[in-house]
Amino acid sequence: MPISKKFLDTLAEKRDTALSGGGVQKLQKRRERGLMTARDRLDALFDRGTFQEIGLHARHETRGFGMDDKDLAGDGVVTGIGFTDGRPVATFSQDFTVAGGSLGRVHAVKICEVMDYAEKAGMPLVGFNDSGGARIQEGVESLSGYGQVFNRNVRLSGVVPQIAVIAGRCAGGASYSPALMDFIIMTRTEAVMFICGPEVIRAVTGEETSLQEIGSAEMQASISGNVHFVAENDAHAVEIVRDLLSYLPSNNMVDPPHQFENELTIAPQQELDALVPESAREPFDVKQVIETIADDHRFLEVQRDFAQNIVVGFGRIGGIVVGFVANQPMVKAGSLDIDASDKGARFIRVCNVFNIPLVTLVDVPGFLPGILEEQRGIIRHGAKMLFSYAAATVPKLTVIMRKAYGGAYLAMCSRDMGADLVLAWPTAEIAVMGAEGAVSVLYHQDLKKAENRAELATRLATEYREQFASPYLSAGKMFIHDVIEPAETRARLALALRSLLAKRELRPSKKHGNIPL
C-alpha cells in the first residue's frame, strides 16, 4: 500500500511554508536588489543535490511584542550538512527575512546541532551571518542561545575549520560568534558588523557616527583587522569560502588537501634572480616572490588590507599546501609593528592547528621604532610572533632573502626558534641590528668629530655589513643551513616539504601555553 496522499499533501504544505522564509515577496525583493537569500547562499556553496537540511520544521517560541501571531519559518535559520567539492561541510545560514535573522532559543538549538555534528564527524563549519543579533523578545533565552553557540565555537576551535560569512547587517552576538571562528569573509555591498550601533553610541558618548563608519567591510578589513576577506557580493563570498576550504583539512586529525604526484620535477626559476634588487634599501614586492614560488602562481592572500607590512596566505609548493608568512618591503620597509605581529601570529597558529607547513620569507629591518608602538605594547604584541613560531610543530621552512635584523630575525622563525630548514639568498644580511644603527651606536664619538660624517658612516656601514652581516658568517656557524640562488628556492622548498611530511614533534603535555594576548 502506498503512503496515503493526505500525509504527502500535509508534508508538501509544511515544506512549502518553511521554505518560503519570511514570505515569497520579501525573498523576491532581496533578489531584485542583487542579494542572495539564505537558501541561495547554500545552493551556491554546495554540490548540486547534496544539502541535507536538519530542522526545517523547527518552530519559534517567541511570544509578545508583536510575535504572538507570527510563524517564524525555521526560526530564522537554515541548518544542515552539504558537500563542497565532494567534502562534507556543516552549515547554518541566517534568514534576514524572518525577524531580521535574530537569534532566539530554537534558532540557537539548530545552530548548536550542526556544530555538534561538525565536531563528531570532523567537518568544517561554514556560517552565513545575516542577523540583528539576540532576539529582543526572547530576552535572556536568546542570550543563553548565544552563550551556547560561543561555547561551541571555542570547543570547535582548532578541531575543525570555522568560516564565517558576514552577509548582511550583523549586530551584537552575530558579530561575536564570527570573531570566535577562524576566518571572516564580509560582503562589500550590504554587510555591516558592529557591537554597539550608532544610536547607542550617540546615547552613551554623544558621538555622531554611521553604520558605515563603525561597521563597513572596508573598515573591518583595513582598520580593525576583524575581517580576513572582502567579497564584492554574495556569489564572490561563496567563491572565497570554497577557495579557502580547498586549502584546509576537514579536521585537525588529517592532512590538508595536498595534491602531489610521486615524481617531483621542479625547474630553476631565473626570474627570481632578477626580482630582488641588490640594494637593501630598494623595495620589492614580496607578493611577486610568493606568486613565483607557488604552484600555478596561485596565492590566496589572507587579511590583504590589514597590516600590509606583513603578507600571509595559502598556496601549494610541489602540491603541498603551505602557509606563507612574508615581510613586505614595500610597506613600512617590511618592519614588524603591533598589527603585523597580531596578523602574523594569528595566521601561524591557524596553520599549526590545521597541519599546514609554514614557509617564511624574511626581509625585515626590525621591530618598528616609535613612541606609540612602545606605549601600545609592541613588546607584548611582538612576543606573539615569537610565541606562535616557537609553539608551532608543523614543518617550518625559512628563506632569508635580505635583511634579518635583531629580535625580528628571531620573530621571523630563525633556526633557534625551531625552523627545520633555514636557507639564505646571497643578498641576506643577518645581524644583531642594521648597519646604520650599529655604526651610530659603536662610532658615535668618531662620527661626531668627523669632517665628512656621511661618507665615514657609509664606509663603516659597508664594512660592518661585510664583517658582521654576511650570510656566510651565519652559515659558518650553522644558523643557516645553506646559501642558495634565488632561482633554486622553489625546488629546495618543494624537496624539504616532501621530506618533512611525516614530521613529528612531541612537547611536554600541558593544558595550553600562555600566549601573550
The site for ligand HXC (CB under 6 A) is made up of: 99-100, 102, 132-136, 143, 146, 169, 171-173, 176, 197
Cβ proximity of 392 and 400 under 8 Å: no
Closest to ligand HXC by CB, 90 or 149:
149
Least Cβ distance, residue 140 to ligand HXC (angstroms)? 10
Cell of 339: 598589527
Least Cβ distance, residue 240 to ligand HXC (angstroms)? 23
Cell of 390: 616557537
Least Cβ distance, residue 158 to ligand HXC (angstroms)? 21
Closest to ligand HXC by CB, 55 or 173:
173
* CA 136 from centre of chain: 32
Closest to ligand HXC by CB, 142 or 341:
142
Burial 437-447 (b: 16+ CB within 10 A, else e): bbbeeebeeee
Least Cβ distance, residue 227 to ligand HXC (angstroms)? 17
Closest to ligand HXC by CB, 172 or 256:
172
Q: How far apart are CA 456 and CA 110, in angstroms?
A: 72
Catalytic-labelled residue, pool 172, 315, 323, 366: 172
Catalytic-labelled residue, pool 82, 127, 133, 173: 173
Decide: helix, strand or coil at residue 504: coil
List, as one string, the DSSP characters of 68-132: TT---GGGGEEEEEEEETTEEEEEEEE-TTTGGG-B-HHHHHHHHHHHHHHHHHT--EEEEE---
Return the number of other C-beta atoms located less than 10 Å from residue 4's C-beta.
9
- Told to judge if 90 belongs to the known catalytic residues of this protein, a careful annotator would answer no
Least Cβ distance, residue 294 to ligand HXC (angstroms)? 39
Q: Which helix (H) or strand (E) holds 183?
A: strand 183-187
Closest to ligand HXC by CB, 64 or 86:
64
Least Cβ distance, residue 197 to ligand HXC (angstroms)? 5
- Told to judge if 407 belongs to the known catalytic residues of this protein, a careful annotator would answer yes
- Could you tell me the CA-to-CA distances from 460 to 327, 328, 344, 406, 464 in Å, in that order? 27, 27, 34, 19, 6
Q: Which of 388, 382, 387, 385 is nearest to 370 (CA)?
A: 382
Least Cβ distance, residue 504 to ligand HXC (angstroms)? 40
Least Cβ distance, residue 88 to ligand HXC (angstroms)? 29
Q: Which of 99, 225, 90 is nearest to 153 (CA)?
A: 90
Cell of 266: 621542479
Closest to ligand HXC by CB, 70 or 236:
70
- Told to judge if 408 belongs to the known catalytic residues of this protein, a careful annotator would answer yes
Q: How far apart are CA 317 and CA 495, in angstroms?
A: 9
Contacts of 485 (CB under 8 A, 6+ apart): 268, 273, 425, 426
- Told to judge if 76 belongs to the known catalytic residues of this protein, a careful annotator would answer no
Q: How far apart are CA 463 and CA 226, in angstroms?
A: 45
Catalytic-labelled residue, pool 404, 408, 491, 496: 408
> For residue 185, is it left (φ>0), alpha (ψ between -120 and 50) or beta?
beta
Closest to ligand HXC by CB, 135 or 349:
135
Closest to ligand HXC by CB, 58 or 496:
58
Cell of 233: 557580493
φ/ψ of 48, rounded to 5, equals -50, 130
* Catalytic positions: 172-173, 407-408
